[in-house]
Amino acid sequence: MSIAVRAVDLNDENQAAELLRLLDGYAQDAMGGGAALSESTRANLIPSLKRLSNFHAGLAWDESSNRAVGLINCIVGFSTFAAAPLLNVHDVVVEKTSRGKGIGAALMTYAEQLGRELKCCKMTLEVLSENYVAQRAYARAGYQPYVLDPAAGHATLMVKNLT
């Protein structure tokens, strides 16, 4: 399988549809919450993403079949401690039938190149504590738990839903 990761053009209906298809598949996976994207999300996601200047995505294409088999969604944030942008890897998706073929690594390499092009000081991501496969993949890509001072421990992601 020959894989090429290319930036998503949200104005291209095929690419936008592939982003939605892959993200919906991820949402339905146990590690994505186990439920399909809502109709509201499906209807509003692409128009909402188009309005964001800090959103970047890449699709991994199987060049032999010209089929999208992976997706990475990234959002540029800002590090106040470094006074520089950072790149948050928000979603990493590889179709179940395409896992174990280096697609996730190719997506992570794409995101790292993007982060360097955008002059980001670091990259961030979140991963579920029981998602050992993803944790190993991220560690191979150079990610580690976030620690400012070992005596204070590692950071914990916390959420407060507003809707």
Which domains does the chain carry?
A: 3-152 (3.40.630.30)
Answering whether pTM is above 0.75, one says yes
Please state, in angstroms and rounded to a whole number, the distance separating the CA atoms of residues 149 and 127: 21
Q: Report the pLDDT value the prediction gives residue 66, as an integer from 0 to 100.
A: 87
Picking from 122, 23, 43, 46, the residue whose alpha carbon sits closest to that of residue 80 is 122
Picking from 37, 60, 67, 52, the residue whose alpha carbon sits closest to that of residue 109 is 60
Distances (CA, A) of 15 to 60, 61, 68, 75, 152: 11, 11, 9, 18, 43
Picking from 106, 47, 111, the residue whose alpha carbon sits closest to that of residue 75 is 111
Tokens at 107, concatenated: 């997506």
83: left (phi over 0), alpha (psi -120 to 50) or beta: left
Q: What are phi and psi of 64, to 5 degrees?
A: -70, -30
Q: Report the pLDDT value the prediction gives residue 105, as an integer from 0 to 100.
A: 96
Q: Report the pLDDT value the prediction gives residue 131, as an integer from 0 to 100.
A: 93
Per-residue pLDDT of the chain (163 residues; tens, 9 = 90+): 799 999 999 999 999 999 999 999 999 999 999 999 999 999 999 999 999 999 999 999 999 998 999 999 999 999 999 999 999 999 999 999 999 999 999 999 999 999 999 999 999 999 999 999 999 999 999 999 999 999 999 998 889 999 8
Q: Report the pLDDT value the prediction gives residue 8, as an integer from 0 to 100.
A: 98
Strand partners, 74: 56, 89
